[in-house]
Amino acid sequence: MNHYVGIAGTNDLKSTNLKLMQYIKNHFSEKAEIELVDISDLPVFFKNKDRVIPEKAAEISMKIEAADGVIIATPEYDHSVPAVLMNALEWLSYARHPFVGKPVMIVGASYGTLGTSRAQAHLRRILDSPELSARIMPSSEFLLGHSLQAFDEDGNLNNEEKVTLLDGLFEDFEVFSNISKHLTNANDEQRKEVENYSWKD
């Protein structure tokens, strides 16, 4: 059974993206272990000469390093990812680099129709940056629109078509994660490049 880290890119305890991550954790509990991590209380990112990161960021980094993959649910603000998610990714690419070669699946929920499509595209660009170098699952989008009406009283998705789509994407992510375990030839060199990346202005 694979172990994944789940990140809801929000500091809102009532966020439907947090609800979506909780659903994913519960819905796939017999197929994978999904550990949700909280990024809401990380301090605002700042560069320091010793490249020291907060203890909470170091803990999350170690969990990602040990995981078989990461699932991120992103809200969409102003056609982009929220500041709290960007802030977390900055800490997670500053002194440690847990995302290098790490399989990532992106999902998102929004009150409107588009289901965070622009934010997901934005997040793909961020995760593909030299400082992160994640291995993002291609040709996969889970866009949950009208998310306030998308869950029943028990926190389950109430649209069978969406459930079927998510089931298929998760199965693909399992395959993608398992294949990624064998794609290690470039990882060491890639990690060296990332660690040598300069954050100087």
Q: What is the pLDDT of residues 3-39, one digit of tens each?
A: 999 999 999 999 999 999 999 999 999 999 999 999 9
CA distance 142 to 145: 10
Q: How far is CA 8 from the centre of its chain?
A: 7
The domains of the chain, with CATH numbers, are 2-195 (3.40.50.360)
Residue 155: what pLDDT?
A: 96
Q: Which of 177, 135, 134, 164 is nearest to 3 (CA)?
A: 177
pLDDT, tens digit (0-9, with 9 covering 90-100), for 181-190:
988 776 666 7
Q: How many CA atoms lie within 13 A of 156 on its CB side?
A: 9
Name the nearest CA neighbour of 40 among 105, 80, 4, 85.
85
Q: How far apart are CA 144 and CA 112, in angstroms?
A: 9
> In which element (H, E) is residue 72 found?
strand 69-73
Instruction: Check residue 199 and give its pLDDT.
Output: 58
